[in-house]
């Protein structure tokens, strides 16, 4: 396919000269872009890349040097095109048909006991999700992450972010995942992270790191100490996940710090605050002014919102299909519909484990650049977006 050759040549050029290759890729993507959002989005990227001292050039060099090109291509196409372009268009169409909000990604916490008992339900949920336009899945493996690889194999058009611990990435997992290019292990940051990340590099995996934060972590986040530690194993993304019960003021302060650090381009890893940035992407995909919260299901298949576990009996993933859950939990009823047909208000959901206390309701701004320029989180996944724009135009 011609487009695959063009994209792979572009990735090869980035390997030869990262700075020039990335700028050229952004320029090509801008030429192929069509919507006003895409043009503004890629113009923002070009502006960002004018900073020759940007830490993201260092990030690009590291990713390109240790990641298999086929992995970059496949994961980039699945997340960038399927998830954020064609999938986003499908989500908007289905939101109008179903009169409910549809998230761009679904978060699930999964353990081996419940997975084995409900494997067919998880398979059905992924198929239904793709029909709705959802192609990005964030799966927190409470144990045995290799059990989730069958989902990635059965749904090759989706992108799977598998959150796990370092000691769970066994040789069995790595061997089975060797030919799966649509996954990205997201390793829990601790003292052993560097060792497993070194192994992932040698095997050509695209990988990231995550850290659960609470009030006790505020100081090391504000002074940049945690970011400095998390960037050492060279992850693509450094993901911060708020712990259950994290105070509202801490959550807001951390997210503001993440946005400011990203805008200064001083950290050679893409900082990502899971709750706030997922919400922001949801608002972009659905074109709404107030971001809805991400959908999260616990190990029992129950949906959680800011008040705790959803009490409605129609909110369990093992007993109801995903569409019915969304129509019941995220209706557009009594909300304001803007000119695009999307809701300006909707029920909100937070990311919680199987048993979690009350978590306060938060709202976040859609801008995170320290300069005040509205740059979206996805702008830092340059490869994903640029590739998706070229691919979309070539298919017409």
3-state SS, residue 107: strand
Residues 13, 67: Cα–Cα separation, whole Å: 15
pLDDT in tens, 265-287: 899 999 999 988 988 888 888 87
Q: What is the mean pLDDT of residues 365-381?
A: 39
Q: What are phi and psi of 161, to 5 degrees?
A: -100, 110
Mean pLDDT rounded to a whole number for the chain: 80
For residues 167 and 184, give the distance between their C-alpha atoms in angstroms, rounded to a whole number.
16
Dist CA 285 CA 92 (whole Å): 7
Q: Name the pLDDT band for 19 (thresholds 50, 70, 90).
A: confident
- Using the predicted structure, report yes or no on whether residue 15 has a pLDDT greater than 60: yes
Looking at residues 140-162, what average pLDDT do you find?
97
Please report the sign of the dihedral spanned by the C-alpha atoms of residue 362, residue 363, residue 367, residue 370.
negative
List the alpha helices (DSSP H) in 133-170: 149-154
Calculate the CA dihedral of residues 351, 357, 362, 366 and round it to 10 degrees: -20
Which candidate, 76, 165, 89, 173, places its Cα nearest to that of 132?
A: 89
Architecture of domain 97-373: Alpha-Beta Barrel (3.20)
Residue 143 has pLDDT above 80, yes or no: yes
Beta bridge partners of 137: 106, 160
The answer to whether 379 and 22 are in contact (CB under 8 A) is: no
From 321, 225, 338, 362, select the one nearest 287 (Cα to Cα).
Answer: 338
Residues 192-250 pLDDT 10s: 999 999 999 999 999 999 999 999 999 999 999 999 999 999 999 999 999 888 888 99
Q: How far is residue 364 from each of residues 19, 224, 376, measured CA to CA in Å?
A: 33, 21, 13
* pTM score: 0.83
pLDDT 10s digits, 343-357: 333 333 333 333 333
- Tell which wins on pLDDT, 309 or 108: 108
The answer to whether 237 touches 270, Cβ cutoff 8 Å, is yes
Predicted local distance difference test score (pLDDT) of residue 335: 42
Instruction: Enter the tokens of residue 164.
Output: 């796990």
Among residues 262, 277, 250, the alpha carbon closest in space to that of 224 is found at 262
Question: What pLDDT sits at residue 35?
Answer: 57
The pLDDT assigned to 24 comes to: 76
Residue with the bigger pLDDT between 52 and 37: it is 52
Specify whether the CB–CB gap between 214 and 185 falls below 8 A: no
Query: Per 3-state DSSP, what percentage of the chain is helix, strand, and coil (rounded to 5)?
Result: 50, 15, 35
What residue segments make up the domains of the chain, in order of their start? 97-373
What span, in angstroms and rounded, lies between the C-alpha atoms of 265 and 369? 10
């Amino acid at each position: 396919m011609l487009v695959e050759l063009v994209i792979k040549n572009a990735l090869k050029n980035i390997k030869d000269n990262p700075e020039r290759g990335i700028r050229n890729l952004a320029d090509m993507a801008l030429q192929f872009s069509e919507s006003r959002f895409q043009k503004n989005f890629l113009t923002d990227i070009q502006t960002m890349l004018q900073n020759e001292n940007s830490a993201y050039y260092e990030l690009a060099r590291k990713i390109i040097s240790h990641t298999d090109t086929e992995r970059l291509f496949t994961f980039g196409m699945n997340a960038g095109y399927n998830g954020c372009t064609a999938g986003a268009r499908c989500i908007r169409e289905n939101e109008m048909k179903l009169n409910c909000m549809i998230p761009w990604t679904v978060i699930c916490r999964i353990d081996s006991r419940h997975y084995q008992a409900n494997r067919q339900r998880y398979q059905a949920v992924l198929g239904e999700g793709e029909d709705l336009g959802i192609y990005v899945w964030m799966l927190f493996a409470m144990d045995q992450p290799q059990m989730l690889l069958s989902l990635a194999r059965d749904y090759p058009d989706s992108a799977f972010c598998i959150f796990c611990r370092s000691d769970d990435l066994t040789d069995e997992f790595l061997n089975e995942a060797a030919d799966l290019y649509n996954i990205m292990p997201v390793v829990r940051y601790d003292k052993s992270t560097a060792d497993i990340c070194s192994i992932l590099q040698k095997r050509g995996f695209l990988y990231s790191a995550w850290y659960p934060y609470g009030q006790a972590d505020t100081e090391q986040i504000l002074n940049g100490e945690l970011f400095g530690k998390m960037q050492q194993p060279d992850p693509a993304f450094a993901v911060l996940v708020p712990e259950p019960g994290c105070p509202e003021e801490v959550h807001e302060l951390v997210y503001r710090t993440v946005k400011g650090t990203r805008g200064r381009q001083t950290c050679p890893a893409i900082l990502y605050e899971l709750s706030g940035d997922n919400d922001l992407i949801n608002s972009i995909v659905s074109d709404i002014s107030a971001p809805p919260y991400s959908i999260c299901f616990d190990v029992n298949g129950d949906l959680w919102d800011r008040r705790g576990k959803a009490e409605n009996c129609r909110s369990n993933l093992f007993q109801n299909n995903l569409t019915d859950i969304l129509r019941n939990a995220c209706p557009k009823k009594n909300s304001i519909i803007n000119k695009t047909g999307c809701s300006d208000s909707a029920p909100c959901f937070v990311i919680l484990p199987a048993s979690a206390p009350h978590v306060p309701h938060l709202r976040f701004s859609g801008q995170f650049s320290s300069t005040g320029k509205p740059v979206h989180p996805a702008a830092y996944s340059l490869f994903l977006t640029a590739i998706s724009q070229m691919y979309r135009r070539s298919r017409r």
